[in-house]
Structure 1
Amino acid sequence: MTAVRPVRLLNLDLLRLVSALLVLFFHYGFRMQITGEGAGIGFPELAPLAKWFDIGLLIFFAISGYVIMMSAEGRSAFDFAAGRVARLWPTFVVCATITAVVLSIWPVPALSAPTVRQWLAHLVILSRVFGQPFLDGAYWTIAYEIIFYGWIFVALATGLLKSHWRLIVTVWLAISVLNETALQSVVLQKLLITQYSGYFAFGLALFRTRLENSRASFAVLSLAAGWAIAAPFITEPEFISLYGFGRNTAGLAAMGPLALAAVTIAIYAPTLPIKRGLAISLGGLTYPLYLLHQNIGYAAFANFGTSDNRFAILALLIGGLLAVAMIIARTVEPAARRAIIGLSKPVQASLTRLRARFA
């Protein structure tokens, strides 16, 4: 197991932060003006490049596949679940609360004002289960992450993850292709993440391929890569529907390979010359920065931005968001993680005794 936890994984910490910044610039530099969420403020000079920066999401999903599979290796389903809850839930609640407060004080004309009921629904992250919209548009990806974690939990609990992961991934990819090309089931699309399954599966298979180095594993990795490369074409109609125009074929063809290459290089390349603590700290900014940036950014531009000060607002906004993300990463996350993991241990001990009694 030590062979697959090398220090070069620090590269992934840095890549995660780069991916978050790409998504941030996609929203501020491209989306905001088109949708009107910045109340007319935008960056048309950045848009021709920024319109491609949703590649950051593809990189995120591939990294998740790799890291979550690594986190699951050698752990029980309960330990895995406790670790994921400790990692995601406290920071999400804090960031959703900050977002709700900011949007209440500085409303965005193009967005609905947050409500107490909406905020309460976010205490379980998946607010749409209670019929409440997300407080921030970026949260839809967190929902997909949780669905992915849920399936990994099931595979761990049933013992299928290690022994039959190739079959699981192959069937997952086959259903994804069938759904996106023929069935068009929204339920399957959400439940099995069929549009983006290639990226999660690629990261998962890449981890297992590094462990096993077998032809069968590489074959599954290749299948995942193929579907991942097709994904930008699958999701482009949604892009056109949202923004009123499409992107060129060459760019769409390049997005998948570039995203997969970025993750693969980060894993296999020598560690960049950076101190371990700094790399981990920078990577730790990713999650709170991602959760905070979109609608809070729109609020800043809509309430304070002008054509003359927009670049100054952009610089101040990014600096402020990074500062708040650092505070959360250094205070909320570690304290909450220790508390949740500590609480989970007696629960796990009780479950172990219960299983032994009925065994």
Structure 2
Amino acid sequence: MTSVPSPGRRATGPAKGVRLFELDVLRFVAAFAVMSFHYLAASKSLWNEYPTTLFAPVDHLTTLGILGVELFFLISGFVILMSAWGRTVGEFAVSRVSRLYPAYWFAVIVIFIMYRFSGVTSFDPKLTTGEYALNLTLFQGAFDVGHAGAVFWSLWVELRFYLLVAVFALFGITLWRCLAFMGAWFALALLAEYTQNDALVFLFQPRQAPYFIAGMAFYLIHRFGPRAAGLLSWLFVAGGYAMGVYAALERVAERVRLVGAKHYPAPPPAVIAAITVIFLLMAAVALGWLRWLRWRRLMVVGALTYPLYLLHQTVSAVLIPTYRDALDPWLLAAITMTVSIALAYLVYRVVDRPGQRWLRARLSALLPSSRRRGGRGSGRSAPPRRPVPAQSREASVP
């Protein structure tokens, strides 16, 4: 049986300062897939007819763009474990809050202003001012309040994953504890799916858990090496894949039932193939097969993904209904995508990046002084801290 390293065993992997540009690429691929899904396959209200009819030559691809979110969850499992390893809960919370909220706050405010003070109607969440204010917390899902942006549901899923990892981090993250945590979560997710108990489903998210867990397993393989990570890590990948295929088939089937296979051609074999490709790409990252991606501009491509994910539907709500009768649909879709990417880059430079720095500095000041000086300050022994790739500390959300 493949040996598993002790918590103190030196991890293998990239040296300090090495950025995983391949994750930046995959993050953008996921966001572009979701954007293509919304523009070219999903939003009948934008075009006044089924977009798969307008864009029939690519409908078998764009309908699968819905699974870009599943790729985001896999990446998140990988990066969040990497981010939490060797950190206190406070440090982890600071990293997540500062990464998640600045661009999100901006998006909520833009959406509020747009629907209150313009004639835009597409995707209007029809929220009260108080409900928009609650959206600023990102906890609106806990109070059964609608999301200001349709894509925000996945951030609520991510946030609950962060909370689970924060609780786990209280005990100190080691390889063995990580495997135990993943095993317990997997079992509870299966139980939640089988029983459909509301509390279990809320806590353990059975339709999303397999991607997070498999992503964590991929990180262990990346950190410790494919042999040293142990057979259990690969079993979690296999289990996550099997359960992930089931979850993806169910999610796509709901969409097909809603509009019909004629207007949403996404047959089960295509869904299985898409999930297989997603897992193979993450395996390639974990095994280092994509390390040849070293173009530094890819870092910016990855960084603008989050504001692109947050705002692309808002851009389409303005542009497509306004110009759909005047422009060729292919040209209009291309223009809308270009504007969305340009706006995302602008938001990244003007709002997201400086906002993260500002918020991180102020939240870090609230941590115990011993932590800010680099001491442990926790009174417990912690696993040795391995140098972590530069991007891992902050970049995890879309």
The normalised TM-score by structure 1 is 0.88
Q: Aligned equivalents of 1:112 and 1:226: distance in 2?
A: 35
The answer to which of 15-24 and 132-141 deviates more is 132-141
User: 1:232·1:255 contact (CA, 8 Å) conserved in 2?
Assistant: no
Identity in percent = 23
On the 8 A contact 1:103/1:114 being kept in 2, the answer is: no
Q: In 2, Cα distance between the equivalents of 1:150 and 1:30?
A: 33
User: SS state of the match for residue 206, structure 2?
Assistant: coil
**Pair 1:176 & 2:189 matched:** yes
CA contact (8 A) 1:229 1:256 kept: yes
State whether residues 40 and 302 of structure 1, in contact with CA within 8 Å, keep that contact through their aligned partners in structure 2: no
Distance 1:29 1:356, change over 3 A: closer
Map 1:192-341 onto structure 2 (within 5 A): 192-210=204-222, 211=224, 212-245=228-261, 247-267=266-286, 268-276=288-296, 278-306=297-325, 308-341=327-360
- Evaluate the alpha carbon distance shift between residue 273 and residue 49 of structure 1 in structure 2; reply closer, same or farther with a 3 A threshold: closer
Residue segments in structure 1 that go unaligned for 5+ positions in a row: none
Unaligned runs of 5+ in 2: 1-9, 381-398
Alignment of 1:48-197 (within 5 A): 48-104=60-116, 105-108=118-121, 111-159=124-172, 162-180=175-193, 182-197=194-209
| Alpha carbons of structure 1 residues 356 and 177: separation in structure 2 relative to 1, 3 Å | closer
**Partner Cα distance (2:300, 2:181) in 1:** 34
CA distance in 2, matches of 1:174, 1:318: 41
Greater fraction of residues in helix: 1
Q: Does residue 9 of the first structure (1) align with residue 32 of the second (2)? A: no
State the alpha-carbon separation in 2 of the partners of residues 189 and 60 from structure 1: 20
CA drift at 1:294? 1.9
Conserved 8 A contact 2:103-2:347: yes
> Which amino acid in structure 1 is aligned with residue 40 of structure 2?
G
Q: Distance in 2 between matches of 1:297 and 1:318?
A: 8
Counterpart Cα distance in 1 of 2:221 and 2:293: 26
Quote the Cα distance in structure 2 between the aligned partners of 1:77 and 1:357.
10
Shift of 1:156: 0.3
Q: In 2 relative to 1, CA 223–30 (structure 1 residues): closer, same or farther, beyond 3 Å?
A: same
Structure 1 Cα separation of the partners of residues 114 and 338 of structure 2: 17
Q: Number of residues paired by the alignment?
A: 354
Q: What letter matches 2:361 in structure 1? A: G
Shift of 1:27: 0.9
Q: How far 1:22 moved relative to its partner?
A: 0.4
| Residue 178 (structure 1) shift | 2.9
Structure number with the bigger relative contact order (C-alpha 8 A, sep ≥ 6) is: 2
User: Contact between 1:118 and 1:132, CA under 8 Å: does it hold in 2?
Assistant: yes
Write the deviation string for residues 152-195 of structure 1: whole angstroms up to 9, x where unpaired.
11100132665422122122222222332x31234322321211
Q: How far apart are the structure 2 equivalents of 1:40 and 1:179? A: 38
State the SS of the aligned residue for 1:138.
Answer: helix
Counterparts of 1:305 and 1:338 in 2: how far apart (Å)? 40
The answer to whether the aligner puts 1:19 opposite 2:30 as a matched pair is: yes
Distance between the aligned counterparts of 1:160 and 1:199, measured in 2?
20
CA distance in 1, matches of 2:242, 2:122: 41
